[in-house]
Amino acid sequence: MRKAGGGSIINMASVLGINGARLRSVYASFKGAVILLTKCMAIDHGPEKIPVNAICPSFVETELTAGYLKTVADPDAVRRERINVHPIGRLGQPEDMAGLTVYLASDESSWVTGAVFPVDGGYLAV
């Protein structure tokens, strides 16, 4: 990116890096570290025209979350509980991250750096 004269770094953190949750101390602290890393990298790489930002999804239906649901006693109950904490009334989909990711990777966001973007179906609003 330095040789090319710029670029864009997009880190994936989590809403739990912004707002912790019960029994998630290790996960939340690591995602919080990604957020602080993002901010420090934005400061370090700003002069090189390399913006650095973070996307913070909530519970998104991926292979990872499908694997997690297989480990719980009542996957349907856990799924319903996760849906109920999102005011938008559904779990996220990988595609929900796409628009913001494209924006942050584009020249349209060239003056956005060190920012943390929750994409969470309203999870942090409650």
Report, as residue numbers or ranges, the catalytic residues. Answer: 27
Contact 69, 79 (CB under 8 A): yes
Extended beta strands in the chain, E state: 9-12, 52-57, 116-119
The residue among 32, 12, 36, 11 whose CA lies nearest residue 20 is 32
* CA angle, residues 43, 110, 32, in degrees to nearest 5: 45
